[in-house]
């Protein structure tokens, strides 16, 4: 096996409709391929924090930016979960990857479900960590943090206002990163999350947020809108192995989201980590990576 690589430079793929899809790779070039679907806000650079754990697991982690995030082109019109599955199929074909696993975090969860359903013959395993449920979950907004609760509402009813608020947040992250990092505390109320924030994560939040909004706020607002609209996902019995992990004390996305997904997909396996919040150190991600290697 090739020597581990901690990460790679930005790469882009031209999709059939002319859009540009950006991604980074982490781990080992000839490792078992895994596509990583990021959170909101998030991007291809999220993999940097766990690059060593990816390499240790012998995986090739391919982390693309969704439309309008990072360096990926904004997609005009209403996006859908199914549309993202088509983007991933195009990227996998270009890379010469026939079979692959999918790993998603937080708001990337429904995108993973969509790809697992649409690309069932190609997907070996779907892993979702701290994932959100689609809007079909009853009262899904009541089981998320204040920012997600507000943005899923604004993205559907007043997207222009959502873009204004996100633009202001991006300005603060750029001009007053320390203050911006502290404002994120309200979205991570679990004591376990506050410990991770105090140990350095609060300082890197502005960088990750600014990269997510590199193209401006429209991509993030549309991602919230996709979440808030009817998902179009045909949940039910699936043959692709599906494993869910969720922190029992998660106050950002409550464990009820993963429990609802598991209730809709009988074959799903759910692991609840006791006394764990929404944020995860590299060693916890290593536990997940070990199931995909």
Q: pLDDT tens for residues 213-237?
A: 999 999 999 999 999 999 999 999 8
pLDDT digits (tens, 9 = 90+) for 14-57: 999 999 999 999 999 999 999 999 999 999 999 999 999 999 99
- Find the mean pLDDT for residues 154-162: 97
Q: Is the dihedral of CA 151, 153, 159, 164 positive or negative?
A: negative
Higher per-residue confidence, 4 vs 12: 12
- Find the mean pLDDT for residues 179-200: 94
Q: How is residue 181 written in tokens?
A: 């990092």
Cβ burial 113-143 (10 Å sphere, 16+ → b, else e): bbbbbbbeebbebbbbbbbbbbbebeebeeb
pLDDT digits (tens, 9 = 90+) for 238-290: 889 999 999 999 999 999 999 999 999 999 999 999 999 999 999 999 999 99
- Find the mean pLDDT for residues 62-82: 96
Q: What pLDDT band is residue 103 in, cutting at 50, 70 and 90?
A: very high
Share above pLDDT 70 across residues of the chain, in percent, rounded to a whole number: 97
Averaged pLDDT score across all residues of the chain:
95
Residue 58 has pLDDT above 60, yes or no: yes
Segment holding 33, helix H or strand E:
strand 32-37
Rounded to an integer, what distance in angstroms lies between the CA atom of residue 222 and that of residue 104?
A: 18
Q: At what angle do helices 81-95 and 109-118 cross, to 10 degrees?
A: 70
| Cβ contact 11:29 at 8 Å | no
Q: Place domain 11-290 in its CATH homologous superfamily.
A: Alpha/Beta hydrolase fold, catalytic domain (3.40.50.1820)
pLDDT digits (tens, 9 = 90+) for 107-142: 999 999 999 999 999 999 999 999 999 999 999 999
- Find the mean pLDDT for residues 177-198: 94
Whole-structure pTM value: 0.95
3-state secondary structure of 76: coil
Q: How is residue 275 written in tokens?
A: 């006394």
- Find the mean pLDDT for residues 64-86: 96
Residue 63 has pLDDT above 90, yes or no: yes
pLDDT value of residue 95 = 98
The domain ranges of the chain are: 11-290
Q: At what angle do helices 218-228 and 146-157 cross, to 10 degrees?
A: 90
Task: Tell me how far CA of residue 11 lies from CA of 105, 193, 208, in angstroms.
Answer: 21, 32, 18
Residue 166 has pLDDT above 70, yes or no: yes
pLDDT value of residue 9 = 81
| Cβ contact 86:92 at 8 Å | no
Residue 8 has pLDDT above 80, yes or no: no
| Cβ contact 156:229 at 8 Å | yes
């Amino acid at each position: 096996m090739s020597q581990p690589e901690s990460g790679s430079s930005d790469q882009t793929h031209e999709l059939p409709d002319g859009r540009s899809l950006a991604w980074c790779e982490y781990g080992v070039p000839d490792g078992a391929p895994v596509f990583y679907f990021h959170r909101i806000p998030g991007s291809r650079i999220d993999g940097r924090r766990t690059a060593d754990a990816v390499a240790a697991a012998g995986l090739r982690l391919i982390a693309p930016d969704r439309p309008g995030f990072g360096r990926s082109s904004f997609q005009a019109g209403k996006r859908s979960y199914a549309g993202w599955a088509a983007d991933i199929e195009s990227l996998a074909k270009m890379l010469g990857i026939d079979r692959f696993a999918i790993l998603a975090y937080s708001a990337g969860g429904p995108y993973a479900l969509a790809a697992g359903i649409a690309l069932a013959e190609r997907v070996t395993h779907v892993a979702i960590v701290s994932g959100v449920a689609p809007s079909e979950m009853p009262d899904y907004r009541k089981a998320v943090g204040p920012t997600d609760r507000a943005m899923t509402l604004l993205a559907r009813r007043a997207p222009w206002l959502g873009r204004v608020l996100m633009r202001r947040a991006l300005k603060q992250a750029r001009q007053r990163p320390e203050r911006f990092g502290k404002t994120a505390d309200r979205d991570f109320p679990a004591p376990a999350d506050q410990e991770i924030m105090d140990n350095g994560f609060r300082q890197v939040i502005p960088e990750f947020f600014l990269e997510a909004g590199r193209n401006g706020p429209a991509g993030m607002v549309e991602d919230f809108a996709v979440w808030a609209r009817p998902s179009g996902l045909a949940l039910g019995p699936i043959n692709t192995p599906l494993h869910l992990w969720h922190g029992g004390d998660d106050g950002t996305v409550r464990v009820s989201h993963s429990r609802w997904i598991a209730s809709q997909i009988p074959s799903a396996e759910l692991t609840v980590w006791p006394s764990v919040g929404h944020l995860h150190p590299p060693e916890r991600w290593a536990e997940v990576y070990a199931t995909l290697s």
